[in-house]
Amino acid sequence: MTRLSVRLAETAGFCMGVDLALQRLDRLIEELGGRPIHILGPIIHNPQVLERYARKGVVIAEKPCDVPEGGHVVIRAHGIPREVEAELEARNITIKDATCPKVKKAQVLIARHTRDGRHLLLFGEEDHPEVRGLMSYAAGEACVFGAPEELDKCPLEKGGKYVLAAQTTQDREQFDRLAAQLDADPGLDVTVLHTICDATKLRQKEAMQLAREVDAMVVVGGKNSGNTRRLAQVVLEQGTPVVHVETAEELDPDAYRAVSRVGVTAGASTPRDLVEAVIARLESF
């Protein structure tokens, strides 16, 4: 029987922003020596990582008021809205900011370029925590849309001034088409902010290339991770069969009986050991 050939994308797994956030959390755990640490929402979108931190006493706070006065809180890689940060500071809570530098840069750019009253057009997932944070930095009105065809829900007035930005993990090609479409309208004054992370673009590009060279793809990462879901989406758009799994146990051996080459990639919040477990299971088929 021929052994299944498994190829791993070079950039699979943790991105710089996630790695930095976890390093900061690890240092705080060590500094506080067992004292409670709260995080506003999950530090990253990966259930297995969250379980590990829960065993170390890290508590996920759903609302700012869940963090006790005078306590310690870590701002996750996605960032938080401005008003939430102000509320924490007012309650004498020690803040450890682990916002991804790329997200922080997007926040600063949006604040700077909407000071003159420009309206923000944000390409992203409305309910995503990063998007809620980015929207809070707009000085004027803001509208968020989840797909290029949904831009119609944002009222665009002739002679209006706008800023176009994106959630850092959005599809770069779709964003570029949007920017070109708006730029071609002579009745609009649009400033385009390039806020999509280069690591996201590279990860998607590698996934698409790998998908064209194998018979099937496996994308590893949290089901609630936006960047991981988009990896699966760009692979599917290449016409390659793809499955999105969180753990190796989800893989079905029967699905690979007629397959000789499988590609593997992983979302930016997926730890290396989960990726390696998936590869080991695939190679055992």
DSSP 153: G
Q: What pLDDT is attached to residue 198?
A: 83
Beta strands 119-123; 72-75: pairing state: unpaired
pLDDT tens for each residue of 18-52:
889 999 999 999 998 878 899 988 888 888 888 98
Find the mean pLDDT for residues 259-285. Answer: 93
Find the mean pLDDT for residues 243-258. Answer: 94
DSSP 3: P
Q: What pLDDT is attached to residue 134?
A: 97
Banded pLDDT at 2 (limits 50, 70, 90): low
What is the average pLDDT value for the chain, to the nearest integer?
Answer: 91
Q: What pLDDT is attached to residue 106?
A: 97
Is 31 a known active-site residue? no
Kindly tell me the burial class for residue 53, based on how many C-beta atoms sit within 10 Å of its own C-beta (0-12, 13-18, 19 or more). buried
Q: Which two tokens stand for residue 237?
A: 């758009």
Q: What pLDDT is attached to residue 7?
A: 96
Q: Which has more confidence, 162 or 42?
A: 162
Catalytic residue among 62, 130, 157, 283: 130
In contact, 244 and 269? CB cutoff 8 Å? no
Domains and CATH numbers, the chain: 5-13+199-284 (3.40.1010.20), 16-99 (3.40.50.11270), 102-196 (3.40.1010.20)
Find the mean pLDDT for residues 176-189. Answer: 92
Residue 86 to residues 34, 75, 216, 268, Cα–Cα distance (Å): 26, 12, 48, 29
pLDDT tens for each residue of 91-141:
889 999 999 999 999 999 999 999 998 999 999 999 899 999 999 999 989
Is the pLDDT score of 216 beyond 60? Answer: yes
Q: Which residues of 40-51 are buried (b: 16+ CB within 10 A; e: fewer)?
A: bebbbbbeebbe
Cα 33 vs. chain centroid, distance in angstroms?
30
Look up the pTM and report it: 0.79
